[in-house]
Amino acid sequence: MLKKTVWSLIVVIIVIVLYFVAWPVPVEPVAWEAPANPGYTGPFAQNDRLKGIEVFPIADNHGPEDIALDAQGRIYAATHEGRIVRLKADGTNPENWVDTGGRPLGIDFDDKGNLIVADAFRGLLSVSPIGTITELATTADGVPIRYADDVDVAADGKIYFSDASTKFGAKECGGTYEASLLDINEHGSHGRLLVYNPVSGKAEKLMDGLNFANGVAVSHDQTYVLVNDTGGYRVMRYWLRGPQKGKCEPLIDKLPSFPDNISTGLDGRFWVAFVSPRNPLLDNVSGNPFLRKMIQRLPAFLRPKAVAYGHIIAIDGNGKVLDDLQDPDGAYPINTSVTETKDYLYIGSLVTPVLGRLLKEKSGL
């Protein structure tokens, strides 16, 4: 009996080892060297300036990824359920304005009052003031847009947006979060920065090789566009005009967290929202594809995941950190975007069933 039990145990161990060594997974991790993590030191020193966020219900929805305001001051939020929620300027009376039938992420208004939407499932959309939805682009240079993520409309009407991953589509992978984990683990440089020209009606690639291309923001002077390289912990700059036209460079790197969206704020600021602090395990195994495959084979609840920590920063056009606002308790967690007005910061989240707003005066801005 004992001998049989021992052999059964050996078989179980062999099966477990074979599973972690050979079971097929959807990622083919690429070796890379994670940059040094500054942690919560220097310009990122821990603070509680993000505490005191007031929240507003968003009907029967959650995950207000991005927030935009129209000319009347009404508030719009893109939600996990596929709906764009509209609230009055004072944050009351939430209504399900339109349903894209996908997963709207980044949103921004053009000069005609259309809400431009980066929909992770459908591509680039335009929603008219009366709620009519039009598909603008589902491909760029003949390549399907599999994970439209963030968007910003330039002064000349061109629409800059990101395709987070050409390999791990949000819809095909079971959701935006699930696809992001696969792309970041693989680190295969599948992300793109795209531009849509409303005159030609076509989208084309400006930049590729990004590891989960995320937030997009056109500079105040319209000479460059920023895109967050979430998997590389950095913000990249692509020059649109001037002697560096067509070239790209890091604006700020070695960030302490995963940057999600970026937006053009006031007074020369750009706001970056951090979805989660960096994970030491992921950084330590960045150069070991085999171990990263093993991590992918773990049950989902054992794999590294986003941590509830509130964090946003403001930077200038030189990459200098101007302001750092944190809430270590994560009362309003997993921050995805910042929309700045004269008096407030509207803050998006991947998970909350409410929309957040912070009085700038209260945070020391």
Which of 335, 357, 331 lies closest to 345 in space, CA to CA?
Answer: 357
Handedness of CA 75, 76, 79, 81 (dihedral sign): positive
Averaged pLDDT score across all residues of the chain? 94
Task: Tell me how far apart the alpha carbons of residues 205 and 163 are, in angstroms, rounded to a whole number.
Answer: 10
CA distance linking residue 126 with residue 135, whole number of Å? 6
Q: Are 302 and 20 in contact (CB under 8 A)?
A: no
Give 287's contacts (C-beta < 8 A, 6+ positions apart). 31, 32, 33
Token duo for residue 18: 């074979």
H-assigned helices in 152-241: 176-186
User: pLDDT tens-digit profile of 48-66?
Assistant: 999 999 999 999 999 999 9
Q: Is the pLDDT of residue 169 over 90?
A: yes
16 phi and psi angles, rounded to 5 deg: -65, -45
Does residue 82 carry a pLDDT above 80? yes
170 has a pLDDT exceeding 90:
yes
Q: What is the DSSP string of 147-164?
A: -EEEEEE-TTS-EEEEE-
Q: Is the pLDDT of residue 7 over 70?
A: no
Please write the tens of the pLDDT for every residue from 240-274: 999 999 999 999 999 999 999 999 999 999 999 99
> For 138-164, how does the pLDDT look when each residue is reduced to its tens digit (9 = 90+)?
999 999 999 999 999 999 999 999 999
**Count helices and strands in the chain by DSSP H and E runs:** 5, 26
pLDDT digits (tens, 9 = 90+) for 112-127: 999 999 999 999 999 9
By the 8 A CB rule, do 334 and 277 touch? no
The answer to whether the beta carbons of residues 121 and 175 sit under 8 Å apart is: no
CA distances to 197, 222, 234, 300, 327 from 241, in Å:
16, 8, 22, 45, 38
The CA angle 73-360-332, to the nearest 5 degrees, is 90
Q: Distance between CA atoms of 6 and 323, rounded to whole angstroms?
A: 61
Which pTM was predicted?
A: 0.94
pLDDT reading at 21 higher than 60:
no
Instruction: Give the confidence band of 1 by pLDDT, cuts at 50, 70, 90.
Output: low
CA-based R_g, the chain, Å:
21
Helix axes of 2-22 and 289-297: crossing angle, nearest 10 degrees? 120
Contact 145, 138 (CB under 8 A): yes
Can you list the domains of the chain with their CATH numbers?
2-363 (2.120.10.30)
The strand pairing partners of 196, in sequence order, are: 159, 203
Q: Give the model's pLDDT for residue 14.
A: 56
* 269: exposed, middle or buried (Cβ count in 10 Å: 0-12, 13-18, 19+): buried
